[in-house]
Structure formats: C-alpha cells, structure tokens
Structure 1
C-alpha cells in the first residue's frame, strides 16, 4: 500500500482478508495526514493506540484517542482519517460469505 497510498500502512497479523472467513482478523493500521474510505460486509472495530482517529459511518462521526474504540457495522461504508497521525489495531468480524470490501478511496490531508 505504501507505494500507492503514501500516508497509509497496514499489516495483517493473523490472516489475510481474502475469500470467506469464520473467525476474526486482526490488523494494525497507521494513517499519516490522510483519509481512507471503504465498504465492508463485516464488522470492523478500531482500537486506537496512538494519535487521533476520526471515523464516520451512517451519518455519525466520532473522534478516538488512545484507549478509545469504535465499531463500523457490516454492510456500511466507513470513512477513517487522521489529521496528523493515528495508529490502531483493527478487528474484522467473520465474513462467511466471502463478500469483498470495495469502494476504496484514499486522500491526503
């Protein structure tokens, strides 16, 4: 992702979200002065480790700081942005049907 989206880094820890999965998937994300948007068919819970993360979904926006968490419900678009920097652990819920995430949008702030 680093070559295409300079301010976004992701590392999947226990599995790669490809095809169907019945367990959770754990990943670590870093955003540096950028925004990321996508649609995902599974739940997505973000736990902020460092910085400040903004999340918008279903017309509601929350601002998370270290120790805070928020969930984007399945079948929704989530927009995530860090005005300066954010590092978080993300948990994807099961996706037994294997529907892929889509509608990816990236922008720099």
Structure 2
C-alpha cells in the first residue's frame, strides 16, 4: 500500500506584479570609439550600483576583443559566430549553443576574430563592487 502526503501551500506574492516586461531596444556601440562592440542591457544596467538579481544583456563583437575585471560571474551563451574567452591562462572557443562562465574576481578577455553575438548573464553584485580594467582591441 502506498500513502501519499499532500501539503497545501499558498503561493508567494509577486513583489510588484506577476510579470516584469522589458521592451526591445536596439544594440548600440559601447562608446563612440568602439563601434565594433555593441550591446543592450535588457532588465537592468550594471552602472546602477548594487544588484541582488541577475542582469541580462545581449552583445556582439565584430573583429574585436573586450577585456574587463568583474566582481560578479559573467556567463555568455553564443547565438551566432565564434567567441573566444581567455582567463588566467585558460582559453575556450564557443560556437552557437555553447556557454561559458568567467567566475568572479577575475579578468576575462572576450574576442571574436570575425563575429559573435551573445546573450550574457551577470550574477548578483549585492555590494555594488565595480568592474574595471576595461580594454578594447580591434583584430
């Protein structure tokens, strides 16, 4: 004989509503000098200080590389092209459908010899520690 226990729990209330929505935006060059590095932050912008949730963005590199130190995790999922990631002597090459994470407290270098388009997730940064050591290279 099998006995099944049943528990009834009330769902947790949504903080501001059942669904958060972010309308589409076009990707823009990171700066006027870095035309081959384009991005759009989707649900938040990391320049806003501390964040307790993830930050989602889409970005693309066209025959260029980007390097930065970040205090939070950064996970990249490749949608198109080929992305090379270097960190502390380790290199991975990602193709569409591949993903890789640079763990916090490290400098990552992301390059696309031809082109790459990615979706990126930044992990939480509750203390608001800043990214730094930004470097851009054209290939």
**TM-score (norm. length: structure 1):** 0.98
Higher-Rg member (1/2): 2
2:36 counterpart residue number: 7
1:89 counterpart residue number: 119
Q: Which runs of 4+ in 1 moved over 4 A?
A: none
Distance of 1:47 and 1:75 partners within structure 2: 20
* Superposition deviation, residue 85 in structure 1: 0.1
Match of 2:107 among 63, 68, 77: 77
* Superposition deviation, residue 87 in structure 1: 0.0
Distance of 2:89 and 2:127 partners within structure 1: 26
Number of positions where the alignment pairs a residue of Structure 1 with one of Structure 2 = 109
Q: Which runs of 5+ in 2 are unaligned?
A: 1-29
**TM-score (norm. length: structure 2):** 0.77
Give the CA RMSD over aligned residues.
0.7
2:58 counterpart residue number: 28
Query: Which structure carries more strand by proportion?
Result: 1
In the TM superposition, what whole-angstrom CA distance separates every residue of 1:45-93 from its partner, at most 9, and x where no partner exists? 0000000000001210000000000000000000000000000000000
2:4 counterpart residue number: none
* Superposition deviation, residue 16 in structure 1: 0.5
